[in-house]
Amino acid sequence: MRVLVVEDALALAEVLAEGLRDQGMAVDVAHDGLAAAAKLDLNDYDVVVLDRDLPGLHGDALCQMITERDERAMVLMLTAAGSPGDRVSGLTLGADDYLAKPFHFPELVLRIRALARRRPAARARTLRAAGIELDPARRTATRDGRPLDLSVKEFALLEALLRAAPAFLSAEQLLERVWDENADPFTNTVTVTIGRLRRKLGDPPIVITRPGVGYRIADQAG
């Protein structure tokens, strides 16, 4: 899952980004509305965590821009104004959810995951293929009933492959979906993480590599 945090309070933005990354999300950060708009033009996000009172371009205007896109991200609006009237006006602008500051971080995580599942392009809650069952909300994964002990990035990589199945994902696409904008496009991080994931998935191998194309999960026929 890829998330854009738009928050002008630098310390809060960094805390949110690091916390969400610890939850296995790929997170980019923007500190004003104009920078956020530029990132939205470059990247495909599942959820935008949007502070309403932003410099450069107000959060209300940015929210409207997002909701007018054909393939839009889900919007979770954050604001210090938490009255019923404020919530109504925020939702009227097209926000999909609304959370008043201060908030509990675990609630933020749950709301982001719920929004990602509601995104039109999202699939079923539990992802299944080739004997694998992965539940993004519960952070559980099994193969043929055997629990898989995966790191945060291994879990996110497997989730991305399952969501794309049976299509291939290139290393560049995996970097975009599982890591974030700070990832080095020339790194071998994807190859190394795929190798660790393969070992944990066990035999028979089910992550297929096609040189020059990318990676995919094998179908049931193998």
Residue 11 is assigned to a structural domain of this protein: yes
pLDDT of residue 122: 57
Within this chain, do residues 40 and 88 fall inside the same structural domain, yes or no? yes
pLDDT of residue 162: 92
Within this chain, do residues 134 and 45 fall inside the same structural domain, yes or no? no
Within this chain, do residues 67 and 133 fall inside the same structural domain, yes or no? no
- Segments forming the whole domain that contains residue 145: 127-217
Within this chain, do residues 98 and 22 fall inside the same structural domain, yes or no? yes
Within this chain, do residues 162 and 56 fall inside the same structural domain, yes or no? no
Beta strand 132-135 with 140-143: parallel, antiparallel or unpaired? antiparallel
Residue 59 is assigned to a structural domain of this protein: yes
CB 89, CB 98: distance < 8 Å: no
Question: Cβ of 13: how many Cβ atoms within 10 Å?
Answer: 19
Mean pLDDT per block of 10 residues along the chain (222 residues) reads 94 95 92 94 92 90 87 88 58 82 93 88 73 88 95 92 89 85 77 94 92 86 40
Sheet containing 74-79: give its strands across. Answer: 26-30, 2-6, 47-51, 74-79, 97-100
Tally of domains within the chain: 2
Question: Cβ of 207: how many Cβ atoms within 10 Å?
Answer: 17
Tell which of 94, 118, 142 closes a domain.
118
Residue 222 is assigned to a structural domain of this protein: no
pLDDT of residue 121: 61
Residue-wise burial string across 29-63, b where 16 or more C-beta atoms lie within 10 A, e elsewhere: bbbbbebbbebbeebebbbbbbbbebeebebbebb
Q: What is the CATH number of the domain that holds 196?
A: 1.10.10.10
What is the sign of the dihedral through the CA atoms of 1, 187, 30 and 7?
positive
Tell which of 74, 100, 118 closes a domain.
118
Within this chain, do residues 132 and 97 fall inside the same structural domain, yes or no? no
pLDDT of residue 115: 93
Residue 99 is assigned to a structural domain of this protein: yes
Within this chain, do residues 135 and 196 fall inside the same structural domain, yes or no? yes
pLDDT of residue 83: 55
DSSP3 helix / strand / coil % (the chain, rounded to 5): 40, 20, 40
From first CA to last CA, the distance across the chain in angstroms is 26
pLDDT of residue 72: 86
